[in-house]
Amino acid sequence: MAQNINKIKNRMASINGAYKVTSAMKLVSSVKLKTWRYRMLANKEYADAIQQASDEVFKYIDDVESPLLEKNDKANKNLYIIVTSSLGLCGSYNTNVFKLADQNINQKDEAILLGKKGLIHYKGGEFKVLEKFTDYVSAKDRTVIKRLISFITEQYISGEYKEVHLIYTSYKNPITFVPKDALILPLSTERDNNYVGYPPLLEPTKQKLFDSLANFYIENRLYSYLLESEVCEQAARSNAMENATDNAEELLNQLQIEFAKARQGAITQELIEIVGAAQAL
């Protein structure tokens, strides 16, 4: 009986240690989630304005010539940018990204992996991984993002890739995150045929306006998507730590009941032995 009590005590001590760790990590991830969510919301209004203005320009550039607007049909592979986390304990965040990537990426395609978990997961050689931008940590790395944009635009203009995609996680609410495949290049110039009105005046010329806007537009989109992924990662980690903390607390309560029963049983056994010994005398 004493051995059983000690076993329960040791297990309670172990789970209590895990409970303290998950509680602390939940608090840290909650603070990070609040910080990144504030950044995302602060950027959203600005990003939406840039998106709206860019869409208006791209609708009326029929005579503009740019390789960024044309699909490279001669190329036989696509480039995918896959956004994963560099840290663990974030639930199914990375798993959902990997599932979407496995569905969409062919063996002949190439990929840039942002986040250490992606590098670890795809080290088996499912497709060619470009050993670039491994220094990316989070959306705060604006220098890395600019280098990434410069690289993909140069490679696309050279005709290396048919399309450039970004696989990231879209933020819906603190509980719901959806992995998405966003087309980065070529740029879309679809026009609403139901539009009634006069086209905007594009100064100084359509070509100059597009040339100055294209890279800025791509950077704005990519940064917004990376911000969303960062928020989703922190939200997923916060949820995972909250669930782990709740499970540890529930298990501790069960063990406390078992400990009380075992202790009561041990006391009863000792009383029986004492009474039995007294009667024998």
Mean pLDDT of 73-87: 93
Contact yes or no for 49/220 (Cβ under 8 A): no
Decide: residue 41, CB within 10 A, 0-12 exposed, 13-18 middle, 19+ buried: exposed
Mean pLDDT of 183-196: 71
Tokens encoding 165 = 């995609």
Q: What is the pLDDT of residues 131-172, one digit of tens each?
A: 888 889 888 888 999 999 999 999 999 999 999 999 999 999
Per-residue model confidence (pLDDT) at position 94: 95
Cα–Cα distance, 226 to 114 (Å, whole number): 10
Q: What is the pLDDT of residues 241-256, one digit of tens each?
A: 999 999 999 999 998 8
* Confidence band of 100 (pLDDT split at 50, 70, 90): very high
